[in-house]
A and B are shown apart, each in its own frame.
Chain A
Amino acid sequence: MSTPDIAPDAARSAHPVPVPHAAPDARPLVALRLVVNNHPGVMSHVCGLFARRAFNVEAILCTPVNGGEVSRIWLLVVDDERLEQMVRQVRKLHDVLDVRRQPAGGEAFARLADCMAAWESETAG
C-alpha cells in the first residue's frame, strides 16, 4: 500500500517545527504493531487515517489471530517528528485495541519481500 508521498508539512504551514522533506529511505524506520477488531471495514479505517494525514506506510502485514475475532497488523513507517501524533490518532480508532511501537529494523520486512518474491515465482505461469 502506498499513499502519495507528500512533503510532511506542506499543508500545515503553522507547524512550529518545519520538517524538511527527505526521501523516506533516508530516515529510520519503525514498526507499529496494532491489534484490531477483524471485520471488513478495519483496514479502511487504519490505512485511511495514514493516507489522510499524509503519512506514508512503507510496508504492511496483517494476519488474523485467536480464531479470527481480532487481527494483528504490522505497519512499517518512517520514524519522524509526526509519528507520535500519528500513534495518538491511531489510538483514537475504536476498532484498534492496542498500539505498540517496536524498533524493528527492516530485516524482517526484507525477508518478507524475499518470501513474496519466491511465492510469486513459484505461482507464476
Chain B
Amino acid sequence: MSAHSQSTAGSGIAPGAASTPRKRQPNGADFVIRLLERQGIDVIAGIPGGANLPLYDALGRAGSIRHVLARHEQGAGFMAQGMARVTGRPAVFFATSGPGATNTLTAIADAKLDSVPVVCITGQVPLGLVGSDAFQEVDIYGMSIPVTKHNFLVRSVDELAEVIPAAFRIAASGRPGPVLVDIPKNVQMAPVDQAVFDNPPQPGLPAPPPAPDPADISRAAMLLNAARRPMLYLGGGVVASGASDMAVQLAERAGLPTVMTLMALGAMPAGHPLSLGMLGMHAARHTNLLLAECDVLLVAGARFDDRAVGKAERFCPDATIIHIDIDESELDKILPVHCGITGDVGLALAELLPLLRPRAEAGREAWLTRVEECRRRHPFVMPGAEDPRTPYGLIRCAADAVDHDAIVATDVGQHQMRTAQAYPLRGPRRWLTSGGLGTMGFGLPAAIGAALARPEATVLCFTGDGSLQMNIQELATAAEEGVNVKILLADNNALGLVRQQQELFYEGRLVASGYRVKVDFARIAEGFGVPAVDLDASEHPLRDLADALRAPGPCLIRVTVPAEANVYPMVPPGADNLQMIGGEPEPADAAANPDEDAATTSATAPGGRHVHA
C-alpha cells in the first residue's frame, strides 16, 4: 500500500465549479492558508495525503501560493530549508499524518542543528481518533519534541489565530530553528467565523534581537586590545544575524586573522587577506597551527562543534576566549569562556567595533607577519585544481564558470569537505550545507529550494554518488519545476569518507563502503527528465562543463573520481586539531623545512604532535 497515495494535489478543481452564489463559509484550512499568505509565504513544498487534504483543498482554492510537489517529505523539508537558508526568512512545508510526518523528521532535526527557521505543518487524524492507533496516526508532536525548537498540536480551530503566527515568531526569533504544527483533520475542516477570517491576527515577526550587556562588551574590548596574537572565529550565527559585513569590518579595523566554521563560510569573502578559511577537521594546516598560537580568541555565533575544535581541552590552549552567542546555553557548554556575551552577534560586534584599537596602534604587524609566514610554509594543497575531471578540479572549474552570486549547495562527504576547502565563496547566504547533522541527501532538495527562492541565480549542487542516491527522487521535482540547479556529481561508486576512515583508522579494512553495482547516473537523470553531461566521455571537458552550467534549467554533470582519493588534511575524530594527517605540499614545493616550524608550534601547544600519513 502506498502510504501517501490517497490523493494528488488539489489541482482538480474546475475553474467554474464554485459558481454557487452563496458565499462558502471558510474553514480552519482556509484560515491557515490565509495566515500563511499574511506571513509572506509564496512557495510551499510538500506532499498531500488523507489527513492534510483540507489544507490542500484550501491551497488550491486560494490559488495564491505556489505548491511544489516533492517526491518524499524529507525532500520537501530540505526544499524549505533551501528557501530559508538563502532568504533568512522562515519557509514552510506540508506533510500528511503518519509516514508523511515521520519522513519529515530528518529534515527537521537537520534544521534544528543548523538553526534554520522552517515551519512544518502536518495533517493529523481527527482529534477524536488521536490515541486510538488510527490509520496513519503517529504521535508526531511527541516524536518531534527533541528535534524542534518548539511544536504545537492544535486542539481547536480557535487556536489557529494564535498558533500560526507564534510558529513563525518562534522559528525566526533569537536563535532560529524549526517549528512543527500538527493540525488534526477535524480542526482543518471546522468552520471559522467570517468575522474572524476577515480580521486575521498580525503576522508573527521575529522578536527584537537581545542587546548585549555593555559591561561585557567593554571587557571584551579590553582583552582584545591587550592581545598580541588575537584571532576571530566566526560561526553560523554571524550569517543568521546578518552580521557578515560587520564581522569583516571589525577584523579589518583590529587586524584579526579570521577563521570560519563550516556554517559561516562566505561570511568573510574567500581571498580576503585576513581570511584563513575553515578551521577544524579538514582545515588547511596553517589555519589549525595558527589557532594554537593565538592568545585571545573572539568567537562569534559559534558553538564549538567537535568537528571544528577537535579535542576541546586542547583547543587554543593558551587563549583567553571571548564568546558571543544569542543562545545563553551555548556559553560554557563545551569550553569554559573567560568572557561570555549573551546577545545578538551583529549588535555585539557593532558595539565592540569602535572600542577596538585600530590595527596600526594595536601593534599587530608581528603577528600578521607570522600568519603570512605560516600560510606560506603550510599552504593548502589542492591537487588537480585545473582539471575538471579531478575532485578539486570539478569544484574550482565550476566556480570559475559561474558568477560570484551563484549559490552553492553540497551533500555530505568528501565532496562536501572539498567544496568547503576549495570553493571561493564571496558572501553570506550562498552556502547551503548540512553542518550539524551531516545529512546525506540534503544537497539536491536544498538546492531546489534555493533555486525556488532565488530563480535568477545559478545553484550549484556538489554531490557524491552515495549522497545523491539518498534523495535522488527529487530529480523529478527539479525537472517538473525547471529549477536552475546544476548537480555536479563526483562519482567514486563508494561512501568515500567512510572508506577514508576505514583506510586511516581501521587498518584499511573496507567494510560496506563500496558499491558493487555501478549506477549509470546520466541515464537515471535523463529518465527523470534532467539532461546529463558525462565529463568522462568528453573531449573538451572544460568547455562542456561551462556550456552545461550556462544552459538554463536543471542538469547533471558527472565525473568519475578515484575512491582512493582522500580528503586532506584530516584530524582524526577525537584528536586535537594539531594532529593533522596529510595535506603537506610535495617536498619540492615546500618553502622551508616544515619540521622547524612544527617545533615552534609544539612549544606553544605542549603535546601537539604531527602525524604523517
A interface residues (Cβ-Cβ under 8 A, vs B) = 12-17, 39-41, 44-45, 48, 52, 84-85, 88-89, 91-95
Task: Closest A residue to B177 by CB, please name it.
Answer: A92
B9 interface residue (CB < 8 Å to A): no
Task: Closest B residue to A90 by CB, please name it.
Answer: B329
Q: Name the B residues within 8 Å of A39 (CB-CB).
A: 155
Q: Do A94 and B150 form a contact, CB below 8 Å, given A16-B313, A16-B335?
A: yes
Chain B's nearest CB lies how many Å from the CB of A111? 32
Q: Name the A residues within 8 Å of B311 (CB-CB).
A: 14
- Complex Cα gap A40–B141 (Å): 11
- Complex Cα gap A91–B342 (Å): 14
- Contact between B335 and A41 (Cβ–Cβ < 8 Å)? no
B591 interface residue (CB < 8 Å to A): no
Q: Hey, what's the 0/1 contact readout for B306-338 against A, CB within 8 Å counting as 1?
A: 100101110000000000000111001111100
- Contact between A14 and B329 (Cβ–Cβ < 8 Å)? no
Chain A's nearest CB lies how many Å from the CB of B273? 32
B146 interface residue (CB < 8 Å to A): yes
- Contact between A14 and B146 (Cβ–Cβ < 8 Å)? no
B15 interface residue (CB < 8 Å to A): no
Q: Name the A residues within 8 Å of B150 (CB-CB).
A: 93-95
Q: Do A13 and B327 form a contact, CB below 8 Å, given A41-B141, A41-B153, A94-B150?
A: no
Q: Interface SS of chain B: helix, strand, loop or mixed?
A: mixed
- Contact between A92 and B329 (Cβ–Cβ < 8 Å)? yes
- Complex Cα gap A88–B325 (Å): 13
- 17 A-B residue contacts at CB 8 Å? A12-B334, A14-B306, A15-B312, A16-B312, A16-B313, A16-B336, A41-B141, A41-B145, A44-B142, A45-B145, A48-B145, A48-B146, A52-B146, A85-B329, A85-B332, A91-B328, A93-B150
**Interface of chain B residues 72 through 110 with chain A (CB within 8 A):** none
Q: Name the A residues within 8 Å of B155 (CB-CB).
A: 39
Chain A's nearest CB lies how many Å from the CB of B137? 16
Centre residue among A17, A39, A45, A93 by max chain B CB count within 10 A: A45
Task: Closest A residue to B179 by CB, please name it.
Answer: A94
B383 interface residue (CB < 8 Å to A): no
Q: Name the A residues within 8 Å of B335 (CB-CB).
A: 16
| Chain B count of residues within 8 A CB distance of the other chain | 24
Q: Name the B residues within 8 Å of A41 (CB-CB).
A: 141-142, 145, 151, 153
Q: Which one of A13, A15, A17 lies within 8 Å of B574 (CB-CB)? A: A13
Q: Name the A residues within 8 Å of B332 (CB-CB).
A: 84-85
Centre residue among A17, A39, A94 by max chain B CB count within 10 A: A94
- Complex Cα gap A84–B170 (Å): 23
Q: Which one of A14, A44, A84, A88 lies within 8 Å of B334 (CB-CB)? A: A14
- Complex Cα gap A44–B334 (Å): 26
Q: Name the B residues within 8 Å of A88 (CB-CB).
A: 328-329
Q: Interface SS of chain A: helix, strand, loop or mixed?
A: loop
Chain B's nearest CB lies how many Å from the CB of A15? 7
Q: Name the B residues within 8 Å of A93 (CB-CB).
A: 150
Seed contacts A39-B155, A52-B146, A88-B328; 17 additional CB < 8 Å A-B pairs: A14-B306, A14-B309, A14-B312, A15-B334, A16-B334, A17-B336, A40-B153, A41-B141, A41-B142, A44-B142, A44-B145, A85-B329, A88-B329, A91-B328, A91-B329, A93-B150, A94-B149
**Interface of chain B residues 136 through 181 with chain A (CB within 8 A):** 141-142, 145-146, 149-151, 153, 155, 170
Q: Name the A residues within 8 Å of B153 (CB-CB).
A: 40-41
- Complex Cα gap A88–B342 (Å): 12
Centre residue among A41, A48, A52 by max chain B CB count within 10 A: A41
Centre residue among B155, B170, B333, B334 by max chain A CB count within 10 A: B333
Q: Name the B residues within 8 Å of A84 (CB-CB).
A: 332
- Complex Cα gap A15–B336 (Å): 9
Q: Name the A residues within 8 Å of B142 (CB-CB).
A: 41, 44
Q: Name the B residues within 8 Å of A44 (CB-CB).
A: 142, 145
- Complex Cα gap A92–B170 (Å): 11
Q: Name the A residues within 8 Å of B327 (CB-CB).
A: 92
Q: Name the B residues within 8 Å of A52 (CB-CB).
A: 146
Q: Do A85 and B333 form a contact, CB below 8 Å, given A15-B312, A92-B327?
A: yes
- Complex Cα gap A60–B300 (Å): 38
Chain B's nearest CB lies how many Å from the CB of A114? 33
Q: 6 tightest A-B contacts by CB?
A: A14-B312, A88-B329, A94-B150, A89-B329, A88-B328, A48-B145
- Complex Cα gap A40–B131 (Å): 12
Chain B's nearest CB lies how many Å from the CB of A76? 22
Task: Closest B residue to A14 by CB, please name it.
Answer: B312
Q: Hey, what's the 0/1 contact readout for B269-311 against A, CB within 8 Å counting as 1?
A: 0000000000000000000000000000000000000100101
